[in-house]
Amino acid sequence: MTPSGTRGARRKAGRIRAIRLVATREVLERGRSRGYLLSLLFTLFLLAAGFLLPTLVLTGDHPTKIALVGSTPAVLGPALQTSAEQFDATVDISTLPDRAAADAAVRDKTVDAALEVPPDLSTPGELIVLEEAGSQLRGIVSGAVISLRAGSTGQLLIPPSVTALKPPTAENTTAIIFANAGIILMFIGIFTYGTWVLTGVVEEKQSRVVEVVLSTVRPRDLLMGKVIGIGLLALAQLIVLVAAGIGAAQLSGRLSLPPTTVGAVVQLLTWFVLGFALYSTALGTLGALASRVDEAQNAAMPVTMTATFSYIVAIVFVTQEPSGVVARVMTFLPPSAPMVVPLRAALGVIDPWEVVVSIAIMLAAIWLLFVVGARVYTGAVLQTGSRMRLRDAWRASR
């Protein structure tokens, strides 16, 4: 090997050592802090809230719309009203001429359910729903039908049979739960730990320790070590939460894990790493422009807004229409890809080529951002005083 070759190799070894030292310090200092444990608990709390909130909102006070199909016993309507009162609920009753109209109404959600009961009450009849009948709906309808049949003919107390037009499969349910949990974890993780990178950079600047550190470490190695160290903590938390979720699901026996689980988890972890690298590099760079933590949070606003926007769009549009135009476009945009791709993958509606292209774009974006970010970071991190402008920081470093 030529002398310059060995020198180059030695320099590279030195840089890797420096990055490793910085990352190790972050892991040790923050990993055993109370903040890390709190963030784990907080994430669990948010995750639970993320699941419960939609359920709470959806089971609000609005009346359940039930359509009576064809000719039914005249007293069925009032009986349903009475039965609903027992459940402290209200029902909104309409009529439809035949079974075909009932199926159509249920499918396009103009009614929540349709009920077909023979006028002579010879059978308990049939309840038609889209995906599944909730326990409340089932209770109201059964209560009404059974009371009528008991009163008139004294036959067996059998509830109406339930027909779901689009019955959910166990795999489908699990995939949706996984996708939602994954995206919530992704967002919280990127936000929480990205903010750690942001404040970590400002705190080093504010406490002036950065000048001592930079007397031996290159600025971009410091930034990279910080992103890697905090990223490892974030990844560890994500793995713990995912493992806990799968474990809990297995134990409770409520969810059967579909064969796509492994793939979904791998996608989630991969995209978390990519998303974290992108967002925390951006946040660390902007943090270097500020001199105080509150200033940094202002400086970081564009990035946090982008993350929030991507999250909301992913939750709202992509879960509704996972193969729609919005979902497809967002698959290839680096800020939104980390949330959209694993979501679509969990729902099983993404082509492999889309994943490959999206990852390639993402890697290119991370590399570009790191080159630009490292230069801005270098130019800004030793400047004190008021908040720097991005352009000045870019120019300040050679």
Partner 1 sequence: MLEVLGLTKHYGPVTALDGAAFTARPGRLVGFLGPNGAGKTTTMRCVFGLATPDAGEVRWDGAPIDAATRLRFGYMPEQRGLYPRMRVGEQLAYFAQHHGMPGSEARVRTAAWLDRFGLADRERSKLEDLSHGNQQRVQLAAALVHDPELLVLDEPFSGLDPLGVATMSEVLRERAAAGVAVVFSSHQLDLVEEVCEDAVIISRGRVVADGQIDELKARSGRRHLEVEVAGSGGAWIADTDGHTVLERDGDRVKLLVDEAVDLETLLAAARAAGEVRRFSFEPPRLSEMFMAAVTAPQPTMAEATR
The site for partner 1 (CB under 8 A) is made up of: 10-11, 14, 17-18, 21, 25, 28-29, 204, 207-218, 382, 384, 398
Closest CB to partner 1 among 214 and 349? 214
CB of 380 to partner 1, least distance (A): 13
Closest CB to partner 1 among 34 and 109? 34
Closest CB to partner 1 among 205 and 328? 205
Closest CB to partner 1 among 165 and 396? 396
Closest CB to partner 1 among 183 and 381? 381
CB of 386 to partner 1, least distance (A): 15
Number of separate helices (H) and strands (E) present in the chain: 16, 5
CB of 211 to partner 1, least distance (A): 4
CB of 295 to partner 1, least distance (A): 18
CB of 389 to partner 1, least distance (A): 14
Closest CB to partner 1 among 116 and 204? 204
Closest CB to partner 1 among 35 and 63? 35
CB of 224 to partner 1, least distance (A): 15
CB of 240 to partner 1, least distance (A): 24
Cα 96 from Cα 98, distance rounded (Å): 6
Q: Helix/strand/coil (H, E, C) string of the chain?
A: CCHHHHHHHHHHHHHHHHHHHHHHHHHHHHHCCHHHHHHHHHHHHHHHHHHHHHHHHHCCCCCEEEEEECCCCCCHHHHHHHHHHHCCCCEEEEEECCHHHHHHHHHCCCCCEEEECCCCCCCCCEEEECCCCCHHHHHHHHHHHHHHHHHHCCCCCCCCEEEECCCCCHHHHHHHHHHHHHHHHHHHHHHHHHHHHHHHHHHHHHCCHHHHHHCCCCHHHHHHHHHHHHHHHHHHHHHHHHHHHHHHHHHHCCCCCCCCHHHHHHHHHHHHHHHHHHHHHHHHHHHHHCCCHHHHHHHCHHHHHHHHHHHHHHHHHHHHCCCCHHHHHHHCCCCCHHHHHHHHHHCCCCCHHHHHHHHHHHHHHHHHHHHHHHHHHHHHCCCCCCCCCHHHHHHHCC
Closest CB to partner 1 among 65 and 218? 218
CB of 207 to partner 1, least distance (A): 5
